Amino acid sequence: MRDKTSTENPANRLSSLLGAEETLELLVEHVPALVFVKDEDFRIVAANQAFLELYPENERQDVVGTTTVEQFDEEQRDRFLEQDRIALRDGFTETTETIDFPNGDRRTLLTRKVGYSSRAGDRYAIGISSDITELERTRTQAGQLGQIIDVALNEILIFDATTAQIRLANTRALENLGYSRDELTKLTVFDLVPERHEAELRRTWAAMTGGEIDRALMDFEALRKDGSVYEVELLAYRSSFESDPIIVSVALDTTEMTANRRALKRKNDELMEFAYRTSHDLRAPVVTASALLSRASDFLEAGPDHAGDARKAVDHANRILSRLNVLTLDIARIARIDTADQVVKEIDLRDLIDTAVERALVPDLPADIRIEQEIGSASSFHASEDSLATILENLISNAVKFYDPAEADPFVRISVERPTPRELVVEVSDNGIGIPPGRANELFRMFTRLHPRHSQGSGLGLYIVRRTAERMGGSVEYVPRTKGSTFRVVVPEARRS
């Protein structure tokens, strides 16, 4: 026969064995919570040992029978008494508070107070406080860590290691990828890379989630919501959160860094070519001119009959030295592009073009070549006058030098417009001999001479135009024409100095 006591409520069985009062006292004394009872005058009439230990040992015997609120600052005292009043009046209150106790402890407590009436009709409030100090500290630290992660300059994403779904993304990741937080958490890691990178990413993901590796460093392109891509350097490592496996990734947008590296490589390559070509292009004319002048000297020593030969040798040497002077001036211009101060001022565009045309015209310019200007409403612009003049002079000079003698109506057209209030577009067009087929990609390199028989320039003019436009924050491009060439320069308006 089954013992009927086996079906009793465990609490009732304990009370029947020990008695109700003994059971309550046993429970109160051994629970880790702070337990106390207050009367209507807010005096503590009962408290367990855990509560009493919050007071210095020599004061514990005086706790029961007093309010003890005198030992706390005014703000805490008022808060305690207000919660006591609510419990006595309404029957329940709950609050979380950080308290400095008389024994020197500073604790964060979750306190629930319940009001009840005794058989005699007296009102009491029983309070039970749970120490949540460590929990609150952990929450605070987690919140601070979350704030740090959210404002980090790197993109930080956390993925579910099992499903590859995104569980968390910081603000930088949202900004760079172009998704809202809700949209991103519906995607997987494989949605964030172009198809050409997916196979490699899946191999790395399988190795990490399978335990072969615990971290990986990768360089690849990330895919934005709008379909564009950008380069990232990504560190991913395996971890866990609340026993669930996760993959944490920290990505650095390397677009600007990569562009800077490419620009630095291009400049280094240009510097190497510059050093090689200038050493040759400077030395060769000097050697040739020196030989011609020596020959002229020999002719003069041979007597008056050779004076004409001497004059021809000197004229030839002068032409060579003249071209050398052009080359050295262009080299000096290149050296000043990145170092010269950009003095910004309001430029009268018509005056600037008139001056540039005057400086760019060669002495033996054909009389029938027309110089046209189309300025319209773009009368002024804030920029570096020297830089803009350098661009115009080189482009106009090129257009003039490479005119087509067979053209019935040769022209050079300079047009200026402002498609936006903060931008200037300059075009120099001509109907000259144009660019040889397949050679357009060489135009803006150093020492490019596409028509060496037609002109003896330095081959640096268009390179100077490109570098100067880039220094101004702009760009230059070649626009093919059916006959001749068009060069378009776009520069932003500079801030006034």
Q: Rounded to whole angstroms, how far apart are CA atoms 227 and 51?
A: 62
Cβ-proximal residues to 284 (8 Å cutoff; 6+ apart), any chain: none
Structural domain includes residue 265: no
Q: How many CB atoms sit inside 10 A of residue 200's CB?
A: 12
CATH code, domain carrying 36: 3.30.450.20
pLDDT given for residue 4 in this prediction: 46
pLDDT given for residue 27 in this prediction: 64
Q: In terms of residue numbers, what domain contains 44? A: 31-133
Residues 99 and 169 in one domain: no
Structural domain includes residue 147: no
Cβ-proximal residues to 238 (8 Å cutoff; 6+ apart), any chain: 161, 208, 209, 214, 215, 245, 246, 247
pLDDT given for residue 6 in this prediction: 47
pLDDT given for residue 475 in this prediction: 93
pLDDT given for residue 335 in this prediction: 67
Residues 384 and 436 in one domain: yes
**Tens of each residue's pLDDT in the chain, 497 residues:** 444 444 554 445 434 544 555 655 666 677 778 999 999 999 998 888 888 888 888 888 888 999 888 888 888 888 889 999 999 999 999 999 888 888 888 888 999 999 989 888 899 999 999 888 887 776 766 566 566 666 667 888 889 999 999 988 888 899 999 999 899 989 999 999 999 999 999 999 999 999 899 899 988 899 999 999 998 888 998 987 667 899 998 888 888 777 788 878 877 777 776 666 666 566 667 777 788 888 888 888 888 888 888 888 888 888 777 767 766 777 777 767 766 677 888 888 989 988 888 887 766 566 678 889 988 777 888 888 888 988 998 899 888 888 888 888 899 999 999 888 889 999 999 998 888 888 888 888 877 777 666 656 667 888 889 988 998 899 999 998 889 899 999 999 887 65
Residues 433 and 484 in one domain: yes
pLDDT given for residue 194 in this prediction: 93
In the three-class reduction of DSSP (H, G, I as helix; E, B as strand; rest coil), residue 66 is classed as: coil
- For residue 336, give the H/E element and its range: helix 307-337
Residue 101 near residue 51 (C-beta atoms within 8 A): no
φ, ψ at 417 (rounded to 5°): -145, 160
Give this prediction's pTM: 0.46
Residues 110 and 239 in one domain: no
Residues 175 and 95 in one domain: no
DSSP per position, 50-64: HHHTTS-GGGGGGTT
CATH code, domain carrying 425: 3.30.565.10
Pairing of strands 411-420, 370-374: parallel
pLDDT given for residue 10 in this prediction: 46
Q: How many CB atoms sit inside 10 A of residue 208's CB?
A: 19
Last residue of a domain, one of 229, 253, 277: 253
Pairing of strands 411-420, 475-480: unpaired
Cβ-proximal residues to 39 (8 Å cutoff; 6+ apart), any chain: 45, 122, 123, 124
How many domains in the chain?
3
Q: How many CB atoms sit inside 10 A of residue 301's CB?
A: 9
Half-sphere exposure of 482 (CA within 13 A, CB side): 0
Nearest one of 491, 322, 373, 346 to 422, comparing CA atoms: 491
Cβ-proximal residues to 482 (8 Å cutoff; 6+ apart), any chain: none
Half-sphere exposure of 173 (CA within 13 A, CB side): 23
Residues 112 and 196 in one domain: no
Residues 495 and 393 in one domain: yes
